[in-house]
Structure 1
Amino acid sequence: MNYFELFNIPVNLLVDTLALKKQFYVLSRKFHPDFFSTASAEEQEDALQKSAMLNKALKVFSSPDETIKYVLQLKGLLEDDEKYQLPPAFLMDVMEVNEQLADAKMDGSEQQITTLKLEIEALQKKLYEPVKNIVEGYKDGITTEKELLQIKNYYFQKKYIDRMLGNFEF
């Protein structure tokens, strides 16, 4: 059983978090181990596993990036700890911004750092544009593998930029 099946929702790259939280509370009451104290050992174990799975699923679905990762893994297009080869042009762009950011930090230029942060955020938006319609219009079984591979490329590029932003204080 995958997380979507557990929550009885369609596989999607975007999850309605309000509906998800409501369903989480319904399911967490249904599978809470305390309600299975008089049940068989097998039923108690099943409830415990589903309860733990609910918590993991909520954590995944609460993060758009983690939801994308999970769907790509479900489709067999992403491995844990996969070493993905980012496009050279992307790496050159990011390296240039990274160098400018390091120089600005050394110079203590808050204004330049703020400007670079805005550039990085603009780069994130630029990365999303080509996949926006795929992410927002995802239909399980209809969205093609080629489109999902575009999402995979976006996922790794965004992850790289997020990591870069996390290394600096703004």
Structure 2
Amino acid sequence: MNYFELYNLPESFVLDEKALKNTYYKLSREYHPDFYANEPQEKQQEILQLSTLNTNAYRTLSDQDLRMQYILKEHGLLEEGGKNELPGEFLMEMMEINEELMELEFDFDAAKFHQISEQTIGLVAQLDNDILPVLQRYPELHGITKDEALDEVKTYYLKKKYLLRIQETLSKFATRS
């Protein structure tokens, strides 16, 4: 079952957190296995599956990145292997940053480290700022189709994931600065 359907919420990148939490607690009470201890084994198993589904749905929908990943996967846009390609201009920019990271590995320079850190923080902030209008209006879009919006979100998601890997690499250098 689709997590949005389970929670009776419209598919959206921006959710009403209070409504999400209220539904989670309501379903947690409804599907609590202790209330079904005297039921047949099949019913107990069904409730356990519903309880697990509720927990997984809440974990996914309450986390912005997991929710985004979930929506993209539901639409078949995030696949293992191919189709997860990033724009060439972004990859060129990342190649430069990766080369600078390799240089830091061999010859650490605190000033260069801070410059790269600030650059990646700025890139993430710019990405977040650029995609926010699409996330806020989805799925009620004007001027672009739902598929175009999902493609924009996919590109954003993949870029941000790439930048987060760079930030993880930078955090390994943090102890040297």
**Deviates further, 151-160 or 57-66:** 57-66
Q: Kindly provide the CA deviation profile for residues 23-63 of structure 1, in whole angstroms up to 9, marking residues without a partner as x.
A: 22221111011111122333222211111111211221232
User: Judging changes above 3 Å, is the alpha-carbon distance between structure 1 residues 118 and 27 closer, same or farther for their aligned structure 2 residues?
Assistant: same
Matches within 5 A, 1:119-138: 119-138=119-138
Q: Percent identity?
A: 34
Are the aligned partners of 1:12 and 1:140 in contact in 2 as well (CA < 8 Å)?
no
TM-score under structure 1 normalisation? 0.86
Unaligned 5+ runs, structure 2: none
Q: 1:127, CA displacement in angstroms?
A: 2.5
Q: Kindly provide the CA deviation profile for residues 42-94 of structure 1, in whole angstroms up to 9, marking residues without a partner as x.
A: 32222111111112112212321211111122223333x24312111111101
Q: 1:2, CA displacement in angstroms?
A: 0.9
Matches within 5 A, 1:57-136: 57-79=57-79, 81-83=80-82, 84-136=84-136
How many pairs align? Answer: 169
Q: 1:18, CA displacement in angstroms?
A: 3.8
Amino acid at match of 2:54: L
Pair 1:161-2:177 in alignment? no
Are the aligned partners of 1:105 and 1:113 in contact in 2 as well (CA < 8 Å)?
no
Q: Tell me, in whole angstroms, the C-alpha distance in 2 between the residues paired with 1:34 and 1:141.
A: 44
Q: Kindly provide the CA deviation profile for residues 120-169 of structure 1, in whole angstroms up to 9, marking residues without a partner as x.
A: 01111222343221111112698511111111111111111112211232
RMSD: 2.2
Partner of 1:146: 148
Partner of 1:33: 33
Q: Tell me, in whole angstroms, the C-alpha distance in 2 between the residues paired with 1:150 and 1:32.
A: 39
Are the aligned partners of 1:104 and 1:113 in contact in 2 as well (CA < 8 Å)?
yes
Q: Tell me, in whole angstroms, the C-alpha distance in 2 between the residues paired with 1:121 and 1:75.
A: 29
Unaligned 5+ runs, structure 1: none
Secondary structure of residue in 2 paired with 1:39: coil
Partner of 1:50: 50
User: Judging changes above 3 Å, is the alpha-carbon distance between structure 1 residues 156 and 43 closer, same or farther for their aligned structure 2 residues?
Assistant: same
Q: Tell me, in whole angstroms, the C-alpha distance in 1 between the residues paired with 2:2 and 2:139.
A: 17
**Deviates further, 133-142 or 27-36:** 133-142
**Deviates further, 56-65 or 12-21:** 12-21
**Deviates further, 62-71 or 127-136:** 127-136
**Deviates further, 141-150 or 9-18:** 141-150
